[in-house]
Structure 1
């Protein structure tokens, strides 16, 4: 497995800790989990009614049920608009795929008996089962409860299926906006190497908060030049594409696919130097020399990154501050102290004794690389 030690990835999802964090931490990456959207089990009745009418107008080949609770919420709306018998008739002629026993029992309560389920009891496995088959011309109805499930629906469409999404949850902004506000600051200061976006609403909420705080341009600039924007699917990528960005999209909406994208792109985006035959790579929270990972504080890393962008050039403290967003409000003494900490960070490393960061009297500093 790819070693991502020294990299930091911010994960935006509907959970306080996402399963993606476990996969990334297995590669030695550091993760920041941000609950960027609230998923509330309360459907929008009008949207469910529209989706139901689309279900009953034509034959259905596949029906995916994510939960018994969600199915019951759907059926309440269906009963109100008078389409219950028509929906049951369509389901009776379709292949029924239920996430777990509870979802299957809810279908049986409707008089339906031929029901498929997975041993893992995950909706994602149901989608993967369909994606492994030819889907051109197939008509799929999916009762879904999360944004990653919407990415699976989009993947089915790209495989040629017609998909009707019956969304039984609402996707709302987080209760605490300071979470996204702090994340915007972290992105602008380049204190993460990548942002992993798991759905369209999390991307929209991030951009909306950045715009409200007046830092949208700074966030977009970071995601263009220094911080890898990686998306679970095309829906999550679309809000960034609307601003002219080209985010990376996983080949499939499964989490290992997103890990693969990050493992491929993070080394491509990091600053890399050759110092006296040693390969040096600058990451958000560390410097890697060969295969040795040296943790470095965010402030000194910002100064090192500013110097590394123009190796051999002398930069004044004012130019370093201008090039490092996190140093815009500090004085020359803070830059001097950061340089001192940088030099000490390389003690006991292959660069010990190398005059990597040189002081040019009355002018500033340069990186000898």
Structure 2
């Protein structure tokens, strides 16, 4: 290599993967973090917010608390608490509101909102170690709330169960609806994101608020796509939530999600990379090291974009690397290919061209195709999404691949 010639930058950990983003707030920051790691991002805000200065419900709740001070206030989010005070200032109610809050016990759901409370010149009485509203509720119910006036700062979610539990124990609960969420004015981007999800055009879908998850589920139900959406989330498409509260609407529908240990954007993006890497397939074929990603293959460290039909073929072959996969089975793996097995030949040719290493896929005359794997090189490899694939035979006539789920012969 000539002096001064630079090595090409290696592909990022998310190169070859497509990630959907549902966030409205701080979406640019999340998208930048994902793209910095190489991801292709499809963004569609699942929500829009009512401007605080125009929110008559928030203004009415603020005036009510100024007139009849609370005994206790629960602050749930830093951005929501700061936004409330900023809106109150615009209405000329900031000082009266702060005066009432100084005379109340203030509970902070987590460290970020604790910082917002202190920045306003207030002092919180307590903050739960697990950053959970369930812990706040347990404390209040243990202490007793009968006859107490409690202000609960909301942030998009109505917190119906939380407030109902307080009211059932005799509390006078005032909801402070900061940043009320509504469906987006332009629903087309959300529909495109939903379509990409149900057709498995995404590898992961991120959520940073429970209302965003609710909005996507409601839109899917309205379009008659809810069964398809629930079917792919957690299996073909990885749902990643910033925390357990965000995951609740999905879990209520039976969707298993993953969350980072720290409920922040940075750890969320790191988790996306870790989880998708764990789900990818790594193997050696014809001496080439391959990692099969969402819509590309990392071949000997070089990212090779592959069209959707090629990825479908490659995944079908990689489920049992080294075994002959019949044309009829490969045809079923091709989306919208009909009954003509010549479609398999055309798709294989395009896949070989995309990889730039045609020797990695072997033709077995009159039978089908197989990955040219080296069993000894692949002995430690894992095929994602399931147990290790059966080891390819090394001698004699190559058998056809057993049907998925069928034990291989001993």
Structure-2-length-normalised TM-score? 0.62
1:45 aligned to 2:62? no
More displaced stretch, 276-285 vs 4-13? 276-285
Aligned match for 2:100, one of 68, 76, 89: 89
CA distance 1:61–1:286, shift in 2 (3 Å): closer
1:345 aligned to 2:357? no
Q: Secondary structure at the match of 2:44?
A: strand
1:359 aligned to 2:363? yes
CA distance 1:184–1:336, shift in 2 (3 Å): farther
Whether the 8 Å CA contact 2:299–2:355 is kept in 1: the answer is no
Distance 1:300 1:50 in 2: 58
Q: How does 1:163-174 map to 2 (within 5 A)?
A: 166-174=176-184
Q: How many aligned positions are there?
A: 319
Whether the 8 Å CA contact 2:19–2:205 is kept in 1: the answer is yes
Distance 1:317 1:48 in 2: 68
Cα shift at 1:15: 5.5
Q: Counterpart of 1:116?
A: 119
Per-residue Cα deviation, 1:67-117 (whole angstroms, up to 9, x for no partner): 3553368988x9xxxxx97884233566899xxxxxxxxxxxxxxxx9726
Larger radius of gyration: 2
Q: Counterpart of 1:203?
A: 213
1:232 aligned to 2:229? no
More displaced stretch, 312-321 vs 293-302? 312-321
Q: Counterpart of 2:82?
A: 66
Q: Counterpart of 1:285?
A: 295
Cα shift at 1:342: 0.8
Q: Secondary structure at the match of 1:4?
A: coil
CA distance 1:11–1:341, shift in 2 (3 Å): same
Q: Secondary structure at the match of 1:224?
A: coil
CA distance 1:209–1:274, shift in 2 (3 Å): farther
Per-residue Cα deviation, 1:41-85 (whole angstroms, up to 9, x for no partner): 2547399749977x9442448795323553368988x9xxxxx97
Cα shift at 1:241: 0.9
Q: How does 1:5-44 map to 2 (within 5 A)?
A: 5-14=15-24, 17-41=27-51, 43=55
| Unmatched segments (≥5 aa) in structure 2 | 1-10, 109-116, 141-149, 163-172, 374-410
Whether the 8 Å CA contact 2:72–2:151 is kept in 1: the answer is no
Q: How does 1:270-281 map to 2 (within 5 A)?
A: 270-276=280-286, 278-281=288-291
